Structure 1
Amino acid sequence: MSQTELAKAIHVSQQAITKWENGKSEPSSSAIDDIANYFNVSSDYLLERTSEKTPDKDLSKNQKLVAYSIDPNISDEERKDIIEMVKIAMKNRRRV
């Protein structure tokens, strides 16, 4: 994929893509989210925080925010445990 194609897909300039690739600037969080959505991967995968391309697709955006905001420096195993706890809490909530 060319820089121009990606730029059009995520609605930024080709020059912005060039600057990101050359380390002269960094994409905004919304641009990272757009890139992740375009390639159907997680933003954590793009930022090399995880090796899983698309973890936790069954969680809502709010559930992911809870799980990922607890501590950004935890291990993948700890993050999975937190996500599992979020899933259990949601199941229990639905039963009430």
Structure 2
Amino acid sequence: MNLERIKGLREDSDLSQKELAKKLNISQRAYSHYESGDRNMPLTVLIGIADHYKCSVDYLLNRTNKKEINK
């Protein structure tokens, strides 16, 4: 997982961890642990982040550099 990519998306959107965590229905503390790599990110959170940024999970996992979802 590319945690820098996930953090960069959040920062580029001018969202705080607290704001994104609220959109994902998790606590800011839990989100902070996921973003820093202190805890493994659950699949539901990863999918929620991909949905929020309208990007593929593969992009977040660093399996591709193509952010857009194939249609």
Q: SS in structure 2 opposite 1:44?
A: helix
Tell me the alpha carbon deviations over residues 36-65 of structure 1, each in whole angstroms, 9 at most, x when there is no partner.
0001110110111101112312xxxxxxxx
Aligned to 2:40: 26
Output the CA distance in 2 between the equivalents of 1:55 and 1:34: 14
Q: SS in structure 2 opposite 1:49?
A: coil
Q: SS in structure 2 opposite 1:30?
A: helix
Unmatched 5+ residue regions in structure 2? Answer: 1-14
Output the CA distance in 2 between the equivalents of 1:46 and 1:30: 13
Runs of 4+ in 1 over 2 A off after TM superposition: none
Which of 51, 56, 59 is equivalent to 2:70? 56
Q: CA deviation at 1:10?
A: 1.0
Q: Superposition RMSD on alpha carbons, in Å?
A: 1.0
Aligned to 1:40: 54
Larger Rg: 1
Q: SS in structure 1 opposite 2:46?
A: helix
Aligned residues: 57
What is the aligned-residue identity percentage?
39
With CA pairs under 8 Å and 6+ residues apart, which has the higher RCO, 1 or 2?
2
Which of 7, 19, 27 is equivalent to 1:5? 19
Q: SS in structure 1 opposite 2:35?
A: helix
Q: SS in structure 1 opposite 2:31?
A: helix
If the length of structure 2 is used for normalisation, what is the TM-score? 0.73
Q: SS in structure 2 opposite 1:5?
A: helix
